[in-house]
Amino acid sequence: MLSAVPEPEREPSPRLLLGLLLVAALVPRLVVFPVNENLYGDAVVRTELAERWLKEPRLIRSFGDGAQQFGPLHLYMVGAVLKAVDREHAGRAVSLLFGVLSVVPLFALTRRYWGWRAGVWACLAFSAWGLHLQLSTTAASEAVALFFMLWVFALFAQALEENRFGPLFGAAMVLNLACALRYDAWMYVPLLAVMPLLWRKDKVAGVTMAVAFGLLCLPFPLWWMQGNELAHGDPLYPISYIDEFHRGWVASSGGGGKGLWMRVQGLGFWPAMALFTLTPGVALLGMAGMWKAWRERLELRWLVLAALIPAAYYTFRAAVLFNFVPLGRFTVTQVVLLLPFVALGAQACARAWGERARQVVAGGSIALAVVMPVTLGVSTFRADGRWRDALRPVSPTSTNPQPLMQAARWLKAEVTEKGKSLVLDSDDRYLDLQLGFFVGLPDERVVRMRWPEFRQRFEQAQPEFLVRFDGGALTREPSVKLEGRTLMLGDVLYVEQDGFSAPVHVYLRKQAQ
């Protein structure tokens, strides 16, 4: 009779599984790493700030102490890697490392609730996630911060399930690090702190865990707030700065029909990013699994709320308050939480329509998860145009406008490597930041329109070359006169050079000829 009882399935070695999953995440990222460039997510600014910190290493205490609006931890990381890796690749190497390592906490979180097979499928979907391919091969902080947030969720899940203080302490410590990376992690301090109070029979234990977790999450946020209070008179000065930037961005977008369209976009932005970047099959299975978990497993509702509440908050700001502009990279912490529910969604599909339907849906989802990011990456790679520019922020490939990179290569050879100097116009699309980064001039040999005291700096340096952007701020200067292919800056004449394409125009000072 015992022979009729099936033996329980043996799980493969977790180390072997994780090794294979790490390889699966690394391979597609290594494919795009050599061709991707720093573009979105403040990548070049973070690298330049890390370079300045490396010249004068110190403990950054506030916005004005060298971090600007960014969290200081990422600057330390990039600065440390700059000792061994060149400036164009240092921040990208940091993102690649943490981007690949993200499969470890994702697997642990998913395996805890649904088993190793579900963990494998979640990590494979993560490996093919086109938006994350871009984030983990550029120098912004999203890939690094996402690793820490997944680690927080994995430890927090362990603490709740095992009712243990050790993993709760670990989750709080890691959340401190996440708060030192990005400010959107701060909302998870109160959000996760209340979760032990919900749907638990032992209320005393729930209160104890909630209070302990909340207090343990406070060291970095309180220390950072004190530094900004002392330096700027506002403990939340960096967050206020970012909020003011978004309000100005919304105001400059105009009203009427355009404003209404922006509200509509904000209303559906998070679901749209899930469906487009995770691809429809994976996202819909994750949503179905999330709904099933909410209805049937009370102990998992905290994970559902960890995805939905921040998404609802940002949606309310974008669509109702109209003081926030959502970007694709802002959604990753919420979108990634669909992946642990994908296997559960597939089970729900089998129960509703049968095993054959589940196989068809799973096969279609796998095909879309591969074909969509590949097609998008190829379509936007070193190709400019209206729809390509609109899709590039969520594409696996991240490349700057080709006229800009052409000018950057020429200026690096003719200006940077020959010890000359440059006037750099400012551009509302931040093309000047991109160009300045890839040209690689030290601060003392570039006069940026974006910097204060532009005229004084120009008079002192008298740069040999000048870069102007279509619609840039330089031509709005009272001392600048543009006529055809010549530009007068004060009493200095610059002549436009051939071989460059709009919106970039390169000029040579006539006296230097």
Read off φ and ψ for residue 486, nearest 5 degrees: -120, 150
Per-residue model confidence as pLDDT tens digits over 55-71: 999 999 999 999 999 99
Pairing of strands 446-448, 422-424: parallel
User: Exposed, middle or buried by CB within 10 Å (0-12, 13-18, 19+), for 498?
Assistant: exposed
Per the CB < 8 A criterion, the answer to whether 129 and 142 are in contact is no
CB 513 within 8 A of CB 486: no
**Backbone torsions φ then ψ of 384, nearest 5 degrees:** -110, 155
Let me know: does 213 contact 195? Beta carbons within 8 Å.
no
Partnered with residue 495 across adjacent β-strands are 486, 508
pLDDT value, residue 372: 96
Averaged confidence pLDDT in the chain: 93
pLDDT of 71:
94
Residues 6+ apart with CB under 8 A from 294: 300, 301, 304
Neighbours of 316 (CB within 10 A): 13
Residues of the chain with pLDDT under 50: 1-7, 512-513
C-beta separation of 395 from 377 below 8 A: yes
CB-based contact 422:439 (threshold 8 Å): yes
Residue written as tokens 């070359």? 465
The gap from C-alpha 63 to its chain's centroid, in whole angstroms, comes to 20
Classify strands 504-509 and 492-496 as parallel, antiparallel or unpaired.
Answer: antiparallel
Helix, strand, coil in percent for the chain, rounding step 5: 70, 5, 25
Residues whose CB falls within 8 Å of the CB of residue 506, separated by 6 or more in sequence, listed in order: 407, 410, 411, 465, 466, 467, 496, 497, 500
Helix (H/G/I), strand (E/B), else coil: 168: helix
Omega within 30 of 0 (cis) for the link into 503 = yes
Length of the chain: 513
Long-range contact set of residues 206-214: C-beta below 8 Å, sequence gap at least 24: 209/159, 209/160, 209/163, 209/165, 209/168, 212/165, 212/168, 212/169, 212/172, 213/168, 213/171, 213/172, 214/189, 214/190
Q: Which two tokens stand for residue 344?
A: 């559960």
So what's the pLDDT on residue 512? 47
> What is the C-alpha separation between 364 and 331, in angstroms, rounded?
24
Which residue, 332, 348, 346, 326, is CA-closest to 278?
332
- Tokens 């909302």 identify what position? 187
